[in-house]
Chain A
Amino acid sequence: MRELKILAIVIFFTAVTYWGVEPYAHSQMHPHVAPADFRFKDMEPLHVNGNVDNGKALVEANCLACHGIESVGYAAPMSSEDAAGAYGVVPPDLSHAGVIYAKNYLAGFLKDPVSATKLSHKFNDAKPYAMPSFAFLSDQEIADVVAYLQNIVATKPSDKEVFEEACGRCHSMKYDAWNAKTPIASMKNYLGAEAPDLSMMIRSKKAEYLNTFINEPLKMVEGIAMPRVGLSEASQSQVIAYIEKVGDRKKAERESLGLKLIGFMAIFTLIAYLWKVSIWKRAA
């Protein structure tokens, strides 16, 4: 009885200390923010239905000068080095753009990329964003472009493909042998910051943080140079799954082995207890 009382006291003070330095301290260091918004409410939704054929023509005329669409046979027009030299950052392949980006976001991005990406602290008339604004297109034409990009997506992209198209131009994934398409020096020049390698992000930032951060970086880190990328909810969870697959490859093994180790020690403890009882029966 006395031992249980002592145990309760020890556990109580340990738990208070733990609560103070972990959950409580972290809640103080990282104040609560609004959850991720995948509807991109700040951008006007499209009110018209797009026409795929018109969209095809518009994309061929307006986008292929810079972007490749490999799934339908358009290779990137320039090598990565040349593209980085020309625009500051390598334009992504658009094979899956129709599903990777939220529809709302995609339309808003074409009209006004700087406010869509929330990079007005980085870009202005003197230093323009790498991709021109297509504000001169009508809402109908924008809808056509979006409809076309959605239409060409035949199969759901793999987790890795989402990463490559949405993040791979800026970020490396060293532990999966992926090098950012844009060279570091160009990246620094373009955004004024290096894009970190994402290999261990799942351990350093945790999935919960990544979920709000990728959705809107500026909300989480003041003045950060990372653009809002505009991923749909599904593709964002694919990206996070990929980051986890690379950075925490042994998670499944850890979680299944954990049960066995705990079970083993529990049995050990039980046997040790029985042994103790039998020995102390004679002694005390």
Chain B
Amino acid sequence: MAQIKKAEGFIDWLDQRLAVKAFMRVMMSEYWIPKNINFLWAMGVVLIALFAVLLVTGLLLLMYYKPDVNLAFDSVNYTIMQEVEYGWLWRHMHGVAASATFLIIYIHLFTAIYYGSYKKGREMIWLTGMVLFVAFSAEAFSGYMLPWGQMSYWAAQVITNLFSGIPVIGDEVVIWIRGDYVVADATLTRFFMLHVVLLPLVILAVIAVHFYSLRFPHVNNQDSVELDFEAEAQKYKEGRIKESRVVPFWPVFLSKDFFVVGFFMTFFFFLVCYHFDFAMDPINFEPANSMKTPAHIYPEWYFLWNYEVLRGFFFDIGGIAAMDIGLIAFVFANVVFFLLPFLDRNAMNTAPAHKRPAFFVWFWLLIVDMIVLTVYGKLPPTGVNAWVGFFAAVVFLGLFIALPFITKLESKGERQ
């Protein structure tokens, strides 16, 4: 047991018991971050800020929400939106933060791809990040169901039905997920449980692992230079601050992040109060009605690219039903991002994309293609739209199939 002495003050008292000083050093003042990074490296902290917003507003909403098909809609739209003091604010913040989280996740994810931060020792960061993406997707989907509006109901209907595509046991799986033959009260209550308990626990745990996995390979930087973190940290600690190529997480790195978070949150509150329809679809302000199919069913914007890969295959090919091809492509699209570190056959080259010509082209094609998929995922799939969606889906699959070859060629070129 440690030597416990009479404490010199509160911090010292705590330090003797919890080693708070060492803890703060490891987590904050001696957690070293490269200097040569840009604001894209602040997205992680923006995500934490948004997650905190979601957590706090979620708890406030939870005090009034009623997970019952007969009460849910009114508890949200009347009790919370009209009766509870500032209930509308919590709901708008929650809804807009959910959408904004995905925007930032996508920026974060493409930053990692662009700067090669998914490979050469950083695979675990990438993989845990992808797990977070999936967990957040499930969280968003289950949350979207809770107000029990038209889109809540019909999105739940369409998405749960996808599982019927699983061979042999598909239909049973659908019933097992719904807890009923159709989307009904049992479905709502179990998705409520997922949304407020199980998935948040998973997310918190994975966030911890995600951060942990960052400590050993360290944060990448915008020029992908290999830094000797210990030597650089030593310089910093000796006071050769300008010469050192790293800065401590606190206060230097965070001072910039606070600025970026502030900048983003200013925009966030503009969206919350004046421009929220993109995140809170008007159709969902109509109560769920199993007898009335909405004219257009579409998921939230952040799932659209995925949805379009699913429905892009709208005709049978070689005797395989369109629906099955779509499902296979959909599963592929959801899994393939996980595989990115292993599809990149030039694992040692972590240069940013603008120093890797072929990869650079690949990257921007991917961005453009995913935006096309996103937009056409919302448009009615008729006439030309269906074909644009089809080609964009094929290009998406093609890009990932081509990636190993592109990167392999690249590595050959480098060795010569």
Judging by beta carbons under 8 Å apart, are B242 and A284 in contact? yes
A33 within 8 A of partner (CB): no
Q: How far is the CA of A263 from the CA of B285 in the complex (A)?
A: 30
A86 within 8 A of partner (CB): no
Question: Can you report 8 residue pairs joining A to B where beta carbons are below 8 Å apart?
Answer: A25-B378, A250-B81, A255-B274, A262-B273, A265-B265, A265-B266, A269-B259, A275-B259
Contacts A6-B40, A25-B375, A204-B282 aside, 17 further interface pairs with beta carbons under 8 A come to A3-B38, A10-B40, A10-B107, A16-B371, A21-B301, A28-B380, A199-B78, A204-B284, A250-B81, A253-B88, A255-B273, A258-B270, A258-B272, A265-B265, A268-B265, A272-B259, A280-B252
Point out the residues of chain A lying under 8 angstroms from B242, CB to CB. 282-284
Which residues in chain A, 24-58, are within 8 Å of chain B measured between CB atoms? Answer: 24-25, 28-29
Judging by beta carbons under 8 Å apart, are B262 and A200 in contact? no
Judging by beta carbons under 8 Å apart, are A6 and B38 in contact? yes
Judging by beta carbons under 8 Å apart, are A206 and B282 in contact? yes
Judging by beta carbons under 8 Å apart, are A279 and B255 in contact? yes
A65 within 8 A of partner (CB): no
Point out the residues of chain B lying under 8 angstroms from A279, CB to CB. 251-252, 255
Judging by beta carbons under 8 Å apart, are A262 and B269 in contact? yes
Judging by beta carbons under 8 Å apart, are A20 and B374 in contact? yes
Judging by beta carbons under 8 Å apart, are B278 and A21 in contact? yes
Judging by beta carbons under 8 Å apart, are A258 and B255 in contact? no
Q: Tell me if B's interface is mostly helix, strand, loop or mixed.
A: helix
Judging by beta carbons under 8 Å apart, are A175 and B371 in contact? no
Point out the residues of chain A lying under 8 angstroms from B241, CB to CB. 282-283
A121 within 8 A of partner (CB): no
Interface size on A, residues (CB 8 A): 49
Point out the residues of chain A lying under 8 angstroms from B38, CB to CB. 2-3, 6
Q: Which residue of A lies closest to B244 (CB)?
A: A283
Q: How far is the CA of A272 from the CA of B262 in the complex (A)?
A: 7
A158 within 8 A of partner (CB): no
Q: Which residue of B lies closest to A267 (CB)?
A: B262
Judging by beta carbons under 8 Å apart, are A17 and B273 in contact? no
A72 within 8 A of partner (CB): no
User: Given the interface contacts A6-B40, A21-B375, A206-B282, does A265 sit within 8 Å of B82 by beta carbon?
Assistant: no
The 4 closest A-B pairs by CB, nearest first: A258-B273, A20-B375, A269-B262, A204-B285
A192 to chain B, nearest CB (A): 13
Q: Which residue of B lies closest to A175 (CB)?
A: B78
Judging by beta carbons under 8 Å apart, are A272 and B258 in contact? yes
B76 to chain A, nearest CB (A): 10
Point out the residues of chain A lying under 8 angstroms from B107, CB to CB. 10
Judging by beta carbons under 8 Å apart, are B258 and A17 in contact? no
Q: Which residue of A lies closest to B82 (CB)?
A: A249
A18 within 8 A of partner (CB): yes
A61 within 8 A of partner (CB): no
User: Given the interface contacts A269-B259, A276-B258, A280-B256, does A17 sit within 8 Å of B270 by beta carbon?
Assistant: no
Scan A90-109; emit 1 where CB is below 8 A from any B CB, else 0: 00000000000000000000
B146 to chain A, nearest CB (A): 16
Q: How far is the CA of A13 from the CA of B35 in the complex (A)?
A: 27
B103 within 8 A of partner (CB): yes
A203 within 8 A of partner (CB): yes
Q: How far is the CA of A271 from the CA of B35 in the complex (A)?
A: 22
Which residues in chain B, 347-380, are within 8 Å of chain A measured between CB atoms? Answer: 367, 371, 374-375, 378-380
Contacting B286 at CB < 8 Å: which of A28, A29, A204, A249? Answer: A204
Q: Which residue of A lies closest to B283 (CB)?
A: A204
Contacting B274 at CB < 8 Å: which of A175, A203, A258, A276? Answer: A258
User: Given the interface contacts A18-B278, A280-B252, A283-B241, does A261 sit within 8 Å of B258 by beta carbon?
Assistant: no
Judging by beta carbons under 8 Å apart, are A273 and B270 in contact? no
B132 within 8 A of partner (CB): no
B277 within 8 A of partner (CB): yes
Point out the residues of chain B lying under 8 angstroms from A2, CB to CB. 38
A257 within 8 A of partner (CB): yes
Q: Which residue of A lies closest to B35 (CB)?
A: A284
User: Given the interface contacts A3-B38, A21-B278, A200-B285, does A175 sit within 8 Å of B258 by beta carbon?
Assistant: no
Q: How far is the CA of A204 from the CA of B284 in the complex (A)?
A: 7
Judging by beta carbons under 8 Å apart, are B277 and A22 in contact? yes
A206 to chain B, nearest CB (A): 6
Judging by beta carbons under 8 Å apart, are A275 and B82 in contact? no
Q: How far is the CA of A29 from the CA of B295 in the complex (A)?
A: 9
Q: How far is the CA of A21 from the CA of B379 in the complex (A)?
A: 8
Judging by beta carbons under 8 Å apart, are A14 and B103 in contact? yes
A215 to chain B, nearest CB (A): 20
B10 within 8 A of partner (CB): no
Which residues in chain B, 67-94, are within 8 Å of chain A measured between CB atoms? Answer: 74, 77-78, 81-82, 88-89, 92
Which residues in chain B, 264-310, are within 8 Å of chain A measured between CB atoms? Answer: 265-266, 268-270, 272-274, 277-278, 282-287, 295-296, 301, 304
Contacting A203 at CB < 8 Å: which of B255, B272, B282, B375? Answer: B282
